[in-house]
Structure 1
Amino acid sequence: MTIDSTAPLGSLDTGPLEELSQRVAAAAPEFTAMADAIWDDPEMRWEEFRAQDKHQAAARAHGFSVTEKVGGIPTAFSAERGTGGPVIAFLGEYDALADISQEAGNPQRTPDPANISGNGHGCHHHLLGSGALLAASVTADYFEAAGIQARVRYYGCPAEEAAAGKTFMVKAGAFGDVDAAVTWHPTTMTGSRQSLTLSYSQVYFHFTGLAAHAGAMPHLGRSALDAVELMNVGVNFLREHMPDTARVHYAITDTGGRSPNVVQAHASVYYVIRADDTRQMRDLQERVENIARGAALMTETDLEIEFDGACAEVLPNEVLERTLEDVLQQLGPVGFDATDQLAATEFAVGLDEREIAGSKRRVGWDPRDGRALHDDLAPYQPEQPRPQMTGSTDVGDVSWVVPTVQISSATAALGTPFHAWQTVAQGKMPAAHKGMIHAATSMAATAAAIVTNPGVLAAAKQEHTDIIALTPYLEPIPDGVVAPPLRVDAHPTGR
């Protein structure tokens, strides 16, 4: 079976779209309240116990059967409803980021005085998970009422930020019986075209030396901190000799102490290594590891390399994207009003003008357009090369084992830097809720279109099979590596 790619956009049968929109609107207050509650209590990767509890309680209340600790991971779960037919998965996230606490709705830098943790939802995952569960619940309601045979499964996915929880779930076989996956990501624009992402790995380098009096007996010491610094210098020289789109970042997580008159006997540095695909990433990682080995040799220190996690690049599915685009053409953009635009304009005042102009160009607007929120649909241009972003997502690994589609939905002002306090500040605003509700409607309608339109699912699976036959999935996580919470000696924060 094939899908007619020449048919006018918006021609796909999305008959239940109006009904799904009404169902989403009716259920939305419960799920936006849950999103706000998770925003109020931001938890870091692998530690999202309270967020997970909220999601599980909502899933059970809506008739889903919950399976806890998917893949053996304490904060991963799945929830299923329905019988027979294909399995349609909705992917949700709920982890926050460190040190970006911000007062809700405040466009001036003001950490939230009620936030003890200092964490913040700087990527709007509080909306992502809540919106995906809203979509799953409404889709299950619709299938049941219409007598449609299908199983709706929601995955509560932990640790997307710098940990790749879904990759560990994929490796554990959690998606083995899924027929198609639908998800979304909050952003500053609304559209169906999936950007290409980078494969990445994250690795700790722990150096151990010998302590000594730095003034009286420095010759007896072997500095682990020197090893970290030499490694960083070596990697800086490497940057000239790696692909343009590759990225290498680091953070010194252990300096060995605060006394300069003591030779540091231990020090650690944490690296994130990104490249176009998993094979390139692995090659680059090996070069970084060799530099670390050289630094240990130069300083006569011992080196422990601790692999922390990884994810693959995203594999887009054209059939499912076309289906999503058909839904968007009939649904239209997020319904922001003048009050939303005015509130977003207050944030835009403090943002980088070049980023705002670039964002407007990417959605096909004149940079001088006065609107701060994207109340339009980004151009759907399948004939153009896909945009390449230099970030990463563990949705990539799911997309290599099951046909996957992801909508971008506007929840913040154009030009807003994600992973920053400005995103946190906008996370509970009416515009953010509207973006979440729009995404939930889009996901529910796309899932319904996949199940009820003859040929869509078969064509999506055939496209996926054809690509995998030519380019098999290369697992980014080596055999034997388990998620940080499952390691006996794991740090409480997952390191």
Structure 2
Amino acid sequence: MDQLQDFFTREAPRMTALADQIWKLAELRYAETASAQLHIDALAASGFRITKNVAGIPTAFMAEWGGTGNDSGPVIAFLGEYDALSGLNQQSGALVCTPSVDSPGLAGHGCGHHLLGTSAHFAAIALQAHLQASGGKARVRYYGCPAEEGGSGKTFMARAGVFDDVDVALTWHPASYTGVFSQSTLANVQAKFIFHGKASHAAHSPHLGRSALDAVELMNVGVNYLREHMPPDARVHYAVTDTGGTSPNVVQARAEVLYLIRAVRNDEAAALYERVQNVARGAALMTECKLDIVFDKACSNLLQNSTLNAVLHAKLLAEGKLKVNAAEQTKAVDFQATLTASDIDAVSRPLASVLRGKTPAVFEGVAPYDPAAREVLFGSTDVADVSWVTPTAQAWVACFAFGTPMHSWQLVSQGLSGLAHAGMVRAARVLTATAIELVNKPELIEQAKAELLERRQGKPYACPIPADVPLPFTRA
């Protein structure tokens, strides 16, 4: 482990530089061309074989090192992301919401994927270095995974069979605390509902028109009534993406609404999606409009793997406390002061046994891990689809002031901080140590595979995105 420590001490400046470059690029889903290329160039320079255009996605790639024969050892994959969020561009270090003067109102890394992808990248290189020094055998892969934010990039990749021969997948996510990502997540389906009506003069001949906007509004009302009669853990969100124009004296001939439907399991999400479709069909019938339903994307619910989680938790504990200097502690205090009590409470409540009534500015320890817990994180991730294909584990690692919510301007503003960089390096060490343990103890991999089969109840992975749904960026 001293060798591992030396590796990351030496590589930390290069990690920081790469993460900071990607933070500044802040590219959106399926448009992460420059960010992906930065990763590709660095991994190729480290001796990794590069496969571009994975699953037909220009910003998805695979970097691999190690033998390709039957005696090459297990395939250990690290999952990397690098996409940003729209509308979250911020000035680094600002303590008030301050869009950058360079690109106001554009994208920003509000989920820390610049750190996520970089840490996984260097974990792959660190495992490579360990295997070279130790003579151990494994095929090391880094998957460059685009469009986690609303694009389900990994789900499309899983549909294409990209992860089928992987033995274990490891990843992490920046957060304001550290611990095993032990929650399940919600499966989801996203679809567009496009209503086609008939334009007319809204005053002179309204009876000749058929309002597509009325259909959208009736659909939304109908879905709101549906909420009382759906599973309590389900969630339905919508955004009206086309109101039919800006002239109120014209009956709107076209209107569109985008729906995101979530539930605890894939089958529940699919069933709820069918009910939402029926509401839309009813709205079209009431307004005498035609309806087009365009399936956009989906992702599965996350399958936990307690075998891998136990290894990951042990390596988190072995890392010891996160250490940042007094200046970074002060910055964290200042950022925490910009948060609401509700922001902090949302993170504090699940960690009450660790915090013991205190609210730290920087979470330095490790949250307890209970393999019997059945918590649900009311969000979704396309990592879930990888977890159905191969045993998968991930960690939360503190990179921001305690309580900082995801997808917030505060998180973007902290993206270049010393705390963010320290958490990123910590995550890379933990992922590498976990991978080394699995290579040294192949029985753990077999145990994890058996657990996955049990959790799937012997059934194969079924991608929630139908085979005939095209990639989002290829649609007219």
State the TM-score, normalizing by the size of structure 1.
0.93
- From 414, 421, 426, the counterpart of 1:438: 426
Matches of residues 89-488 of structure 1 in structure 2 within 5 Å? Answer: 89-115=77-103, 118-363=106-351, 364-366=353-355, 368-383=357-372, 385-470=373-458, 472-487=460-475
Provide the residue aligned with 2:45 in structure 1. Answer: 61
What is the rounded CA distance, in whole Å, between the counterparts of 1:361 and 1:117 in structure 2? 33
Query: CA 1:225–1:367 in structure 2 vs 1: closer, same or farther (change >3 Å)?
Result: farther
1:2-17 counterparts in 2 under 5 A? Answer: 17=1
Gaps of 5+ in 1: 1-16, 490-495
Distance 1:315 1:68 in 2: 28
Deviation at 1:317, TM superposition (A): 0.7
Moved more, 351-360 or 463-472: 463-472
Please show how residues 27-46 of structure 1 align to structure 2 within 5 Å.
27-46=11-30
CA–CA distance in 2 between the matches of 1:348 and 1:80?
40
Pairwise CA distance, 1:413 = 1.5
Deviation for aligned residue 1:335: 1.9
The one-letter code sitting in structure 1 at the alignment partner of 2:378 is T
Check conservation: 1:324, 1:442, Cα contact below 8 A: yes
| Distance of 1:437 and 1:366 partners within structure 2 | 24
Residues 74 and 485 of structure 1 are in contact (CA less than 8 Å); yes or no, is this contact kept in structure 2?
no
Which segment is superposed worse, 191-200 or 333-342? 333-342
Q: Are the aligned partners of 2:99 and 2:105 in contact in 1 as well (CA < 8 Å)? A: no
Q: Distance in 2 between matches of 1:183 and 1:434?
A: 17
Superposed CA RMSD in Å reads 1.4
User: Cα distance, 1:271 vs. partner?
Assistant: 0.7
What residue identity is the alignment partner of 1:140? Q
Kindly tell me: are residues 347 and 368 of structure 1, through their superposed partners in 2, closer, same or farther at Cα, counting changes over 3 Å? farther
> Does the 8 Å contact 2:200/2:251 carry over to 1?
yes
Match of 1:493 in 2: none
Deviates more, 1:33-42 or 1:324-333: 324-333
Residue 454 of structure 1 and its aligned partner are, at CA, apart by 4.4
The letter for the 2-side match of 1:126 is: H
- Distance, in Å, in 1 between the alignment partners of 2:52 and 2:227 is 42
Q: Is the CA contact (8 Å cut-off) linking 1:222 and 1:301 kept in structure 2? A: yes
Query: How far apart, in 1, do the equivalents of 2:210 and 2:9 lie?
Result: 64
Q: Does 1:50 align with 2:38?
A: no
Superposition deviation, residue 402 in structure 1: 0.2
Counterpart-to-counterpart distance in 2, 1:262 and 1:159: 37
Identity %: 49
Give SS of 1:469's match.
coil
Q: Distance in 1 between matches of 2:347 and 2:294?
A: 38
* Deviation, structure 1 residue 43: 1.0
Q: Tell whether the 8 Å contact from 1:180 to 1:404 is kept in structure 2 after alignment.
A: yes
SS in 1 for 2:401: coil
Assess if the C-alpha contact under 8 Å between 1:190 and 1:333 holds in 2: no
Instruction: Map Cα deviations across residues 234-290 of structure 1 (whole Å, 9 max, x no partner).
Output: 111011111111100111111111111111111111111000000000000000111
Bigger CA drift: 148-157 or 413-422?
A: 413-422
1:97 deviation in Å? 0.7
Change in CA separation of 1:117 and 1:44 when aligned onto 2, cut-off 3 Å: farther
Structure 1 distance, partners of 2:154, 2:183, is 19
User: Matched residue of 2:188: which SS?
Assistant: strand
For residues 154-205 of structure 1, give each alpha carbon's deviation from its aligned partner in whole angstroms, at most 9, with x where no partner exists: 0000110111100000000001111100000111110124211000111111
How many residue pairs are counted as aligned between the two chains? 471
Name which of structure 1's ranges 429-438 and 412-421 shifts more when overlaid on structure 2.
412-421
